[in-house]
Amino acid sequence: MDKFTQNYIDGFMADLLRRNPGEPEFHQAVHEVLVNVAPYIVEYPHLMDLKILERIAEPERVVMFRVPWTDDRGEIRINRGYRVQCNSALGPYKGGIRFHASVNLSIMKFLAFEQTFKNSLTTLPMGGAKGGSDFNPRGRSDAEVMRFCQSFMTELFRHIGQDTDVPAGDIGVGGREIGYLFGQYKRLSNEFTGTLTGKGLGWGGSLLRPEATGYGLCYFTEQMLGRAGESFEGKTVLVSGSGNVAQHAAQKAMRLGAKVVTLSDSDGFIHDPDGLDEEKMAFVFELKNVRRGRISEYAKKFPGATYYPGMRPWAVPCDIALPCATQNEIGKADAEALIKGGCRCVAEGANMPSTPEAVALFLENKLLYSPGKASNAGGVATSGLEMSQNSMRVHWTKDEVDAQLRRIMSDIHAACLRYGEEGDGYINYVKGANVAGFIKVADAMVDQGLV
């Protein structure tokens, strides 16, 4: 890299750190994009003069609010709510809501920033946002979750709308929570609109939205493998997490002929050397989505499997890894273990699951490696399809949605190839996704003037 570009990167990061102290995840996400798009910005100096990336890294609006609620014992609880509306150059703000004890401003800003580039890659008209709360739904009754969601929405509702900002699910927010949030939004606004996605199928939801992130991840991975003359057939696959994304990634990989041997949660992971099958998958769906149990129960039910408390799955030998739990779940030592265990492909279902050190190792060792903003975009893309169906007041069939999801994942793959080719035939999907996602947002911002 030439000195001018390096100086631009160094100056940008110094300014970002000064303006946003104590936000390590946000710094990490911006830095990853910056190093890839800086050469492009240097090549097209009007983007530097117009401070396009500086503007993208300053969210258009950040809302932080008190969320008071009462637990089942009558005790008053206080949580903090967030909505970070990062960028609206391409369409209404769009992005999930996360309920997890770890939620803070840094995590919300990193996710909203990532979402802006991801949504650009989907080819659909959506800006980028993220929201959430440090509320921990684990162990809470349905009534407590409902009261929390109602209180959260009582403030959020004034900041969102079908043409303004359309939230959806993320960690800790699934069908149940979207139902409670939608009910309260409808009550306060006195309108039945498509202002949230991931809705129930009977009241405006899209077929395949629950499956879309995991299925889309596998469609993208198929494209990567296909280009290298390979497929899922007969491959050993590690999946982390056991929530929405992990469940459907595991199910699709299995149906495409892979042997999926791990699942996890924040307490540990299970290793099933025989691999998942339809019966085991049905158990996992019931365990996690109906009983809201822990993944350790899998090993009690299926004695061929072993539960490893307090550990992550990355040391299990494999061909393909699909991290689907949370940010920074693959560190340097985990990446080394994956490579040592024979892993040739890492496709991210979670947002930013690999640390910068892990990403560097994947790229140095020329793995097929795709960042979340490319390979997990199928979820938000199908949210975009849900918005279209709501606006048109129609309901597409599963096959119609699936065909569009496959087309979108294939288009994202093509965009990565276009901007990620390294000359020797190796595709740097990180660079491809960052540059392709950036160009569309940047061009729209140039067209729309200084706002």
340 is catalytic: no
Q: What is the DSSP string of 191-224?
A: ---S-SSS--GGGTPPTTHHHHHHHHHHHHHHHH
Which residue from 104, 266, 388, 410 is in contact with ligand NDP, where contact means CB under 6 A? 266
- Grouping H, G, I as helix, E, B as strand and the rest as coil, residue 31 is helix
Q: Is 153 in the site for ligand 2IT (CB under 6 A)?
A: no
Distances (CA, A) of 327 to 55, 111, 163, 208, 314: 24, 10, 30, 25, 15
Task: Please provide the DSSP assignment of 134-150 as one string.
Answer: S---TT--HHHHHHHHH
Which of 192, 185, 171, 217 is closest to 349 using CA atoms?
Answer: 217
Binder of residue 95, out of ligand NDP, ligand 2IT, none (CB less than 5 to 8 A by kind): ligand 2IT
**Residue (of 324, 301, 173) closest to 253 by Cα position:** 324
Residue 244 as a binder of ligand NDP (CB under 6 A): the answer is: yes
Does 197 bind ligand 2IT (CB under 6 A)? Our answer is: yes
Q: What's the rounded Cα separation, in Å, for the pair 417 and 431?
A: 10
376 binding ligand NDP? (CB under 6 A) = yes
Selected range binding ligand 2IT among 34-42, 267-275, 375-383, 391-399, rule: CB under 6 A: 375-383
The answer to whether 357 touches 335, Cβ cutoff 8 Å, is yes
Using CB under 6 A as the binding rule, whether residue 169 contacts ligand NDP is answered as yes
CA nearest to 117, candidates 428, 351, 426: 351
Q: Answer yes or no whether residue 137 interacts with ligand NDP by CB under 6 A.
A: no
Instruction: Out of 92, 96, 216, 323, point to the residue binding ligand 2IT (CB under 6 A).
Output: 96
Instruction: Provide, rounded to whole angstroms, the least separation between the CB of residue 179 and ligand NDP.
Output: 15
272 counts as binding ligand 2IT under rule CB under 6 A: no
The structure tokens listed for 183 are 């009910």
- Helix H or strand E encompassing 373: helix 372-375
CA distance linking residue 250 with residue 276, whole number of Å: 8
Residue 361 structure tokens: 């190792």
Restricted to residues 393-422, the positions that interact with ligand 2IT (CB under 6 A) are: none
Q: Does 95 bind ligand 2IT (CB under 6 A)?
A: yes
End-to-end CA distance of the chain: 32
Three-state secondary structure call for residue 350: coil
User: Under the criterion CB under 6 A, does residue 170 sit at the interface with ligand 2IT?
Assistant: yes
Q: Of 351, 430, 382, 417, which is closest to residue 94 (Cα–Cα)?
A: 382
By a kind-dependent CB cut-off of 5 to 8 A, residue 243 interacts, out of ligand 2IT, ligand NDP, none, with: ligand NDP
Closest residue by Cα to residue 312 from 356, 246, 256, 258? 246
**Binding partner of residue 326 among ligand 2IT, ligand NDP, none, CB cut-off 5 to 8 Å per kind:** ligand NDP
Task: Single out the segment in contact with ligand NDP by CB under 6 A; choices: 43-51, 65-73, 235-243, 408-416.
Answer: 235-243
Q: Which does 325 bind (CB under 5 to 8 A by kind): ligand NDP, ligand 2IT, none?
A: ligand NDP
CA distance 41 to 316: 41
User: Which of the following is catalytic: 130, 252, 280, 431?
Assistant: 130
Q: Which of 116, 184, 195, 213 binds ligand NDP (CB under 6 A)?
A: 213
Rg of the chain over Cα atoms, rounded to whole angstroms, equals: 21
Instruction: Work out which of 56, 207, 250, 350 binds ligand NDP, going by CB under 6 A.
Output: 350
Smallest distance, ligand NDP to C-beta of residue 326, A: 4
Query: Which residue in the set 56, 171, 337, 415 belongs to the binding site for ligand NDP (CB under 6 A)?
Result: 171
Q: Using CB under 6 A, which residues numbered 70 to 109 contact ligand NDP?
A: 100
Using the rule CB under 6 A, is 170 a contact of ligand NDP?
Answer: yes
**Interface residue list for ligand 2IT (CB under 6 A):** 94-96, 115, 118, 168, 170, 197, 351, 379-380, 383
**Interface residue list for ligand NDP (CB under 6 A):** 100, 169-172, 174, 213, 241-246, 265-267, 324-326, 349-351, 376, 379
